[in-house]
Structure 1
Amino acid sequence: MIWPSHGSNPQYLYEAMGLSLPAQYHDFSANINPLGPPPALKEKWQDLYQEIFTYPDPFATKLKKRIENQEQIPGQSILIGNGGAELITLVARMLTGKKVLLVQPTFSEYEKACRANKCEFLYHQLREPHFELKLDELRAKLVYADAIFLCNPNNPTGIQYSSSTIISLFEACEKENCLVILDEAFFDFLLEYDSFIPYINRFPNLLIIRSMTKMYSIPGIRLGYLVAQPAIVSELSELQSHWSTNTIALLAGELCLQNKTFIQETQNYISNERNRLFHFFKHQEYISSFSKVNFYLLQDPLLENQLPLFKFLLNHGIVPRHTMNFPGLDGRWLRFAIKGVEENNHLMEVLTIWRHHH
């Protein structure tokens, strides 16, 4: 069977599974902020419409200025992109033909983008259920790698690696002349987070990618940014297509970044719901990953393969993310986003029914 390779767009999943899409379903497969976009976007939507008549600023000056002030970095260290996906694609182009190390399980698009650019791959597999990142085990592989992709907090596990481990990784990679691409698509969901952005001054081999579509719930708009030393940023910007980030995205980005309380509300909400869900899983004897963000892995330990549970959930209008194309997970887990209170309640109800019958 052909598994859809991405979360969201449930119609393709039901089709692949030979099931018909129910009239009512909850999509737990896309890791988007359940609180929706910041209210300011709706309030200013008419103003944004006025701007579709103008070409976007190719230098994204105003949005960059906001990021400069917020992160205390110079503008020439920032590259604005059409979502994290475009930035990953640009990095992959820069790495054409190089050897890339992937720490798995991880977001499948790093490999897809690098494969399109004739890269060779090395893999480092983290062991379930703790998925610990042990630098000693990685070190030997860094000798052969030109670049390493690390997603932190990690997708699909939701696990946050310790700051000391990550800084040691920067140092080890610098010694081996290996680029570090740190994907922080979900960093702003973390209650405790030390920014790695100041380290770009110290490490010319460090690139940090940040998505703005997850926290601000705007995946349909596409916006993200990359931070690195100016030489890398200028190399990447030369590979970027002209007008790659549209006017609406740039303005939406400015509005989103003005909204500090929105992030705190989101973090508190996610943290409360996650505690509630994890308490339930433990009680019902499900196993979940030690996630610190807005999604997590789940498995029924009584099943060898989670496919029967997956189908059961789909039939009950709950759409999780399968893990067939996350190497090292191979379908032994399902990934769920943390949604609204009602959806999370519905999930718990359905998992209770499953537990009582199996």
Structure 2
Amino acid sequence: MHLPAHGANTQHVYEALGMEAPDTVIDFSVNTNPLGTPASVQDCWQDWLPAVYDYPDPHFTELKQQIATKEKVEPASLLPGNGAAELITLIARFLQGKNVLIVQPAFSEYETACRAEDCHISYFQLEAPAFTVDKEALHKKLQAADAVFFCNPNNPTGIAFDQSIMNWLIETCVEVKTLLILDEAFYDFAHPPVTSIQKASNSPYLLVLRSLTKMYHIAGLRLGYLVGEPGLVEQIGKRQSHWALNGIALKAGVACLQEVEHVKDTTNFIANERDRVFRFLQRSDYIHSASGVNFYLLKDPAMASQENLYHFLLEEGLVLRHTYNFPGLEGEWLRAAVKKEAENNQLMEALVKWKREG
């Protein structure tokens, strides 16, 4: 099957499978905030219109200052980008030809970007269903790597590793002189969140990636940032095109970073709704990952491959994320986002129907 490599764009899924999409489709494959974009962003479009007339600030001054204040880091340690995907590409260019280890399962863009730069890719596999870290085995793999990508909270499992694991990983990478690229794109959905961002600004062996598109539901604006030791960030930033961020994105980023209540409301909602869905899955004989964020893996343990369940849900107008391009998962799980109550209810009703008719 030639399915899309990412979530969203549901029409491409149906086209790839030669299926006709139902009149109503709910997209569980995209894992942005189900509560939507903050009101402050929605209300400001008219005021921001003049930003499209002139070239944007190529140094991202106001946005960097807002991030620096919020995260208690120096502006010189920051590099905003056109979404985390652009920053991953810039890091891959910096790593051209190097030995890169990817802790899997993981966001597919790490490998795609690094292969385009002729990096030598190897994997360290987190084993299902617990997806825990075998420190001894990982330590051995790190010794042969110039850089390692690690996602916390993990995408696609949703599992959030605690601070002790992250401290061990950071210290180990310093010991073996391996650059750790720590992707925290979903850190602010976790409750409580775990971050290593302050450590990154002082270490030549640690970069932290953040995304604003997930929590603030602005995926179409493309906005993220990188934190690291200023000299290292400067080297990576030299590979970025001029005016990488548009004027509207710069203003939206500043506004979003001030939305404390929106984040609090979101994390509370996600925690309650995710727990409700998990209770249903457990009593309905489904297996799920121990996610602590706004998405999770699920599977019907009666089947090794979830292909038939995936197709069934598509017929019901429910698009989940396939896992065929996640090494170590290869279609044995499906990823679903935590949506609003009514939408989650429709997924649960469909899963009951599958058990009854399957």
Q: Report the TM range for the smaller structure's normalisation.
A: over 0.9
Taking the aligned partners of 1:237 and 1:199, their CA distance within structure 2 comes to 19
Name the counterpart of 1:293. 293
* 1:199-228 Cα shifts (integer Å, max 9, x gaps): 124522100000000000000000000000
Name the counterpart of 2:176. 176
Taking the aligned partners of 2:201 and 2:254, their CA distance within structure 1 comes to 25
Taking the aligned partners of 1:208 and 1:269, their CA distance within structure 2 comes to 26
* 1:167-194 Cα shifts (integer Å, max 9, x gaps): 1111111111110000000000011123
Asked if 2 retains the 8 angstrom alpha-carbon contact of 1:153 and 1:186, the reply is: yes
Name the counterpart of 1:34. 34
Asked if 2 retains the 8 angstrom alpha-carbon contact of 1:64 and 1:75, the reply is: yes
Deviation of residue 280 (structure 1)? 0.2
Taking the aligned partners of 2:277 and 2:293, their CA distance within structure 1 comes to 13
Asked if 2 retains the 8 angstrom alpha-carbon contact of 1:310 and 1:334, the reply is: yes
Pick closer, same or farther for the CA change 1:40–1:8 going to 2, 3 Å: same
Name the counterpart of 1:154. 154
- In structure 1, give the amino acid aligned to 2:73: I
SS of the residue aligned with 1:80?
strand
Question: In the TM superposition, what are the counterparts of 1:51-90 in structure 2 within 5 Å?
Answer: 51-90=51-90
- The answer to whether residue 326 in structure 2 is matched with residue 326 in structure 1 is yes
SS of the residue aligned with 1:321?
coil
Q: Pick which of 306-315 and 191-200 moved more.
A: 191-200
Deviation of residue 50 (structure 1)? 2.0
Deviation of residue 150 (structure 1)? 0.3
Give structure 2 stretches of 5+ with no counterpart: none
Name the counterpart of 1:243. 243
Question: Pairwise CA RMSD of aligned residues?
Answer: 0.8
Deviation of residue 197 (structure 1)? 1.5
Runs of 4+ in 1 over 6 A off after TM superposition: none
- In structure 1, give the amino acid aligned to 2:327: P
SS of the residue aligned with 2:336?
strand
Deviation of residue 355 (structure 1)? 1.1
Question: In the TM superposition, what are the counterparts of 1:17-166 in structure 2 within 5 Å?
Answer: 17-166=17-166
SS of the residue aligned with 1:322?
coil
SS of the residue aligned with 1:136?
helix
Asked if 2 retains the 8 angstrom alpha-carbon contact of 1:295 and 1:337, the reply is: yes
Name the counterpart of 1:220. 220
- In structure 2, give the amino acid aligned to 1:325: N
Identity between Structure 1 and Structure 2 (%): 50
Name the counterpart of 1:2. 2
Name the counterpart of 1:335. 335
Deviation of residue 303 (structure 1)? 1.1
SS of the residue aligned with 2:160?
coil
Asked if 2 retains the 8 angstrom alpha-carbon contact of 1:170 and 1:203, the reply is: no
- For these two proteins, the number of residue pairs brought into alignment is 358
TM-score (norm: length of structure 1): 0.99
Deviation of residue 137 (structure 1)? 1.2
Name the counterpart of 1:12. 12
- In structure 1, give the amino acid aligned to 2:28: F
Taking the aligned partners of 1:266 and 1:201, their CA distance within structure 2 comes to 28
- In structure 2, give the amino acid aligned to 1:176: V
- In structure 1, give the amino acid aligned to 2:79: L
- In structure 2, give the amino acid aligned to 1:159: I
Give structure 1 stretches of 5+ with no counterpart: none
